[in-house]
Amino acid sequence: MIRKPYDIPKALVCEAWLHVKADQGAAGIDAETIERFEEKLGDNLYKLWNRMNSGSYFPPPVKAVPIPKKSGGVRILGIPTVADRIAQTAVKMRPEPRLDPMFREDSYGYRPGKGALEAIAVTRRRCWDYDWVVEFDIRGLFDDLDHGLLIKALRKHCQEPWILLYVGRWLKAPMQTMDGQILERDKGTPQGGVVSPLLANLFLHYAFDLWVARHLHGVRYARYADDAVLHCKTLRQAEHVLDCIRERFQACKLELHPDKTRIVYCRDINRTGDHPEVQFTFLGYTFRPRKAVDKYGRVYVNFSPAVSRDALKAMHSAGSEAALRVGEGAEDSRAPQRQVERVQPGVVEGEPARSLAKCHTLQQATPDWIGCDAGQCIEARQGILGGGEQFEEEFVGPARVVVPLDRVQSATREINALRLSVRPETSRVV
């Protein structure tokens, strides 16, 4: 019997198929749908597993699909084939259980058990405690990720050769446009790939999250993928923070979006200073001064979030489309959402695909060739965490003590203590 170079459990590929089937999604360049793939499920899964085990699996080009942006223009999604999504899911399931606990608590995007509403709630609370906000967006994050730095970060935490092999091949897989043109890629990871969000979070963990903790002491932030806000005490500190993160991303071969990066003053009843920017939009919510009424019936100005106008327009548009579909006899009122989910699984937030815990359930849902026991399902998720501090010192830099920029904060706190403040928790927004 010829021994294959890699030992990938059949159960891992099988469970990956269940996740892909649950998420549905559009067909790739081969036009093969989930239903067509399932017609010969046993043969298709065995062929994929066999090729991955032998190291002979090469991902086909991803299908380029233009999606309109709310702010104008288009975003190019890279849609893999069904078989390639299964392979990516199998690879993602292996390192994710040990990578996710390593990510910092202020990272909310594409993580199990975390979401946008948690980031909004944290940002709302911190806008009451900090007077200034630095809002930024990374231009073309998924298109411009540096392959060398990304593989370097992955190698620190993952020693399985087959994972490194296939991630490297996915990063270099070409993209095929709607007119059939093949575009080679030497940077970035397709937005639409199953493994791309995990790779982006790993990259930004070192490029931003860990770097902020080491170099910008006392600065709090919330990040959802390539969107983030940082909270500062003074304008001078905010300007310094913005200059630092701009230089940091340039060093990591990324660029801040000039139209979506600004310093915002959190104006309310206690903060009455003058600044041209007094509102920002984060994850579909606009934070700005709003009229509010406390429990005693007193009207005051509070800095708080509400659904943005663009998000409301999108909701009304989706609702109108859903009503039209129902009027035409559609059975599913969530048709607009499902249409987006079919193009790119995971774009619309929802419950993650349920992982099968019992082996007999796994065997009932898959062909006979699996032949696994419950232990294999657990082994598919286990691995040894890579160590070494050399990578962090090179990528993030050593921790250093930051001298406070302003020495008037104590005086500012004393002045604020003399003001009649209203507790935001006991108020409601009008």
The beta strands (E) that lie in 180-322 are given as 182-183, 220-224, 227-232, 255-256, 262-265, 280-282, 285-294, 299-307
The answer to whether 79 and 65 are in contact (CB under 8 A) is yes
Helices 82-93, 41-54: axis angle to 10 degrees equals 60
Q: Residue 135 is encoded by which pair of tokens?
A: 């809002």
Provide the pLDDT confidence category of residue 69 given band limits of 50, 70 and 90: confident
The answer to whether 159 and 384 are in contact (CB under 8 A) is yes
Better-scored residue on pLDDT, 25 or 404: 25
Mean pLDDT score, 397-425: 48
**Which of 52-56, 68-72, 104-108 shows the lowest per-residue confidence on average (mean pLDDT)?**
68-72
Mean pLDDT score, 145-168: 95
Q: pLDDT averaged over the chain?
A: 81
Mean pLDDT score, 297-321: 85
Mean pLDDT score, 149-155: 95
Distance of CA 214 to CAs 107, 268, 357, 373, Å?
16, 31, 39, 45
Provide the pLDDT confidence category of residue 309 given band limits of 50, 70 and 90: confident
What is the 3-state secondary structure of 75-130? EEEEECCHHHHHHHHHHHHCCHHHHHHHCCCCECCCCCCCCHHHHHHHHHHHHHHC
Q: Residue 200 is encoded by which pair of tokens?
A: 């982006």
Closest CA to 233 of 38, 424, 19, 412: 412
What is the value of pTM for the model shown? 0.76
Q: Provide, rounded to the nearest whole percent, the portion of the chain with pLDDT above 70.
A: 73
Residue type (1 letter), 191: Q
- Checking if the pLDDT of 277 tops 60, the result is yes
Burial level of 39, CB count in 10 A (0-12/13-18/19+)? exposed
Better-scored residue on pLDDT, 310 or 319: 310
Non-local (6+) Cβ contacts of 359 within 8 A are 372, 373, 374, 377
Mean pLDDT score, 142-167: 94
The answer to whether 141 and 200 are in contact (CB under 8 A) is yes
Radius of gyration of the chain (CA): 24
Helices 147-157, 161-172: axis angle to 10 degrees equals 160
- Checking if the pLDDT of 242 tops 70, the result is yes
User: What pLDDT is attached to residue 310?
Assistant: 84
Helix (H) or strand (E) holding 35, with range, is helix 34-39
* Residues in the chain, total: 430
Closest CA to 22 of 112, 89, 67, 87: 89
Q: Among positive and negative, which fits the CA dihedral 245, 246, 252, 258? A: positive
Mean pLDDT score, 64-70: 84
The pLDDT tens digits for 171-227 are 999 999 988 899 999 999 998 899 999 999 999 999 999 999 999 988 999 999 999
User: What pLDDT is attached to residue 399?
Assistant: 57
User: What pLDDT is attached to residue 413?
Assistant: 55
Q: CA 27, 80, 45 angle in degrees (round to 5)?
A: 80
| Site of tokens 């991303």 | 249
User: What pLDDT is attached to residue 323?
Assistant: 61
The pLDDT tens digits for 349-388 are 333 333 333 333 333 444 444 444 333 333 333 332 334 4
Better-scored residue on pLDDT, 346 or 91: 91
Report CA dihedral (147, 48, 109, 72) to the nearest 10 degrees: 80
SS3 category, 219: coil
Measured between alpha carbons, how far is 338 from 332 in angstroms, rounded to an integer?
9
Non-local (6+) Cβ contacts of 229 within 8 A are 123, 133, 134, 135, 136, 221, 222, 280, 282
The answer to whether 166 and 86 are in contact (CB under 8 A) is no
- Checking if the pLDDT of 407 tops 50, the result is no
Closest CA to 363 of 349, 342, 377, 344: 377
Strand-pairing partners, residue 228, are 136, 223
User: What pLDDT is attached to residue 368?
Assistant: 43
Mean pLDDT score, 267-283: 94
User: What pLDDT is attached to residue 409?
Assistant: 55
SS3 category, 423: coil
Measured between alpha carbons, how far is 349 from 337 in angstroms, rounded to an integer?
10
